[in-house]
Homo-oligomer: A and B are copies of this chain.
Amino acid sequence: MQKKDRRIPEETVRRLSLYLRTLRFMENKGVQVISSERLTKHLNITGAQARKDLTYFGSFGQPGVGYNVNRLRKKIEEILGLDHSWNVILVGCGKLGAALLAYPGFRRFGFRITAAFDNNPDKVGRTIGKVPIITDQKMEEFIRKNDVKVAIITAPAEAAQEIARRLAESGISAILNFAPRYLVIPEKIQIKSVDMAMELESLVYYLKNH
């Protein structure tokens, strides 16, 4: 049973994604039951932490035996909302946008990029990775017609704020932002910024201190 507790820590949700990857890998290998220690072995997380994370959502495991791999995998997919697929749009078809359009990982986890938008007439009308590039003037119309809720911003920093505002006004509820700047958006909209330099920063911190 899933508790709809709004105070589930963001880090717990993040770790669920990690557990899901291990579970899928194990399930493909034919593993049927897994202990919390084995579930977290390569993740730099303790088994106790995994058990604690999972208790937010109910009780799944059998003490001394472990978790049923298939059942826990399905349960986590359900918790994360991955038991159905999501239509996603991408805005900004520069180098990073093009790379993400060709990235196979999204689809594997139920995210289908249905359209990409750009303001460059040379790009509009082309496709990248089978995704059509549409003029950004039709962005709002597309979002409303197709009831799109999730958008990825890969536009340049100076354009990102205006794009975010337009997305918010047309009914987008979640934004994954790759533009290297802070975006002001209404509070009801979920936003996550991916900052590649930040990932390197925490790496070199450990390089320096260990």
Which residues of A does B touch, CB under 8 Å? 4, 6, 8, 10-11, 13-14, 16-18, 20-21, 25, 42, 44, 79-82, 86, 88, 94-96, 98-100, 102-106, 108-109, 111, 149-150, 152, 173-176, 180, 182, 190-192, 194-210
Contacts and interface: CB of A to CB of B under 8 A. Distances in A.
Given A80-B201, A80-B204, A201-B82, A196 B10 contact: no
A20 B80 CA distance: 31
A-B pairs, top 9 by smallest CB distance, nearest first, are: A81-B208, A95-B99, A99-B99, A109-B197, A96-B99, A174-B203, A105-B197, A17-B198, A105-B180
B81 A205 contact: yes
A194 B103 CA distance: 13
Contacts of A81: 204-205, 207-209
A168 to B, nearest CB: 14
Given A99-B95, A103-B96, A202 B206 contact: no
A174 B207 contact: yes
Contacts of A8: 209
How many copies of this protein are present in the complex?
2
A75 to B, nearest CB: 13
14 contacts: A11-B11, A14-B198, A17-B202, A25-B182, A80-B204, A86-B204, A88-B200, A96-B99, A98-B99, A105-B180, A106-B197, A111-B197, A176-B196, A194-B196
A105 B44 CA distance: 27
A42 B13 CA distance: 20
A174 B205 CA distance: 10
B194 A6 contact: no
B208 A150 contact: no
Contact of A103 (B100, B152, B196, B198): B196
Given A99-B98, A102-B95, A203 B176 contact: yes
A126 to B, nearest CB: 15
